[in-house]
Amino acid sequence: MSSAPSVGRPRSGARRLPAGTAREEILDAAAELFSERGYAATSTRMIAEMVGVRQASLYYHFSTKEQILAELLESTVRPSLTYAEQLAQQALSPADALQALVRYDVGILLGARWNVGILYALPEIATEPFTRFRAEREQLRSAYRRLVAAVAGTPTADVTGDLVFGMVESVIGMRRDLPALPPPDQLGQSVADAALRLAGSPR
């Protein structure tokens, strides 16, 4: 019995991610184009051409451009949300847990190959394909609120928690606007220290 025909055409040129899957290469190419050219100015044809495959190959993995963007955006918050859940199971002080989450979150935002976070402000994000991303980002915001409240010793600290959350995400703009940044671990510690001061920690 002959094998099923492959989708699209063989990959042309050198691979973007030699150790990556076709799906990962599509995501990587889309992240570069979305962050450098803009979401609206990028077509699925451009993404496929950058990877070196036909659009049919791209559609085998992603049915729409919105699905690609949604997965990219979710990848910027889901690791930190999972980490926040893990921290909640550990016997850490609120201050230590807040510091750890800030450092980790900053590392995720700065360590990505492309600065996908700059796409958070797109008007398309308010639409249905991005419901899960919005929900997960709000869950992460809530984790910051809870930790800040615990550090401050108050029942709630929504405004201060939101300020800390915004300060963490401000590294997205720093990455876009500044020609050079401190190493992620160093910047992460600086943001973590500032978060503790904002939360009212005596440290």
- The pLDDT tens digits for 35-60 are 999 999 999 999 999 998 889 999 99
- CATH classification at residue 121: 1.10.357.10
H or E element: which one contains 44? helix 44-51
Same domain (yes/no): 124, 90: yes
CB atoms within 10 A of CB 78: 18
Total-model pTM: 0.88
Same domain (yes/no): 157, 82: yes
| Rounded-to-integer distance, Cα 122 and Cα 40, Å | 10
Domain count, the chain: 2
- Classify residue 9: in a domain, yes or no: no
- Classify residue 112: in a domain, yes or no: yes
Same domain (yes/no): 41, 124: no
CB 87 within 8 A of CB 100: yes
pLDDT score, position 70: 98
- Classify residue 1: in a domain, yes or no: no
Same domain (yes/no): 52, 114: no
Q: How far is CA 142 from CA 9, 113, 173, 198, in A?
A: 45, 27, 22, 16
pLDDT score, position 156: 84
Same domain (yes/no): 163, 79: yes
Q: In terms of residue numbers, what domain contains 36?
A: 22-63
CB atoms within 10 A of CB 134: 16
Same domain (yes/no): 54, 106: no
pLDDT score, position 203: 63
Residue ranges of the chain with per-residue pLDDT less than 70: 1-19, 202-203
pLDDT score, position 201: 81
pLDDT score, position 140: 98
- Classify residue 6: in a domain, yes or no: no
Q: What are phi and psi of 145, to 5 degrees?
A: -60, -45
pLDDT score, position 19: 56
- CATH classification at residue 32: 1.10.10.60
* Sequence-separated contacts (24+) of 7-13 with Cβ below 8 Å: 7/56, 7/57, 7/60, 8/53, 8/54, 8/55, 8/56, 8/57, 8/58, 8/60, 9/53, 9/54, 9/57, 11/51, 11/52, 11/53, 12/52, 12/53, 13/52
- Classify residue 11: in a domain, yes or no: no
| Rounded-to-integer distance, Cα 77 and Cα 139, Å | 9
Same domain (yes/no): 190, 165: yes
pLDDT score, position 202: 67
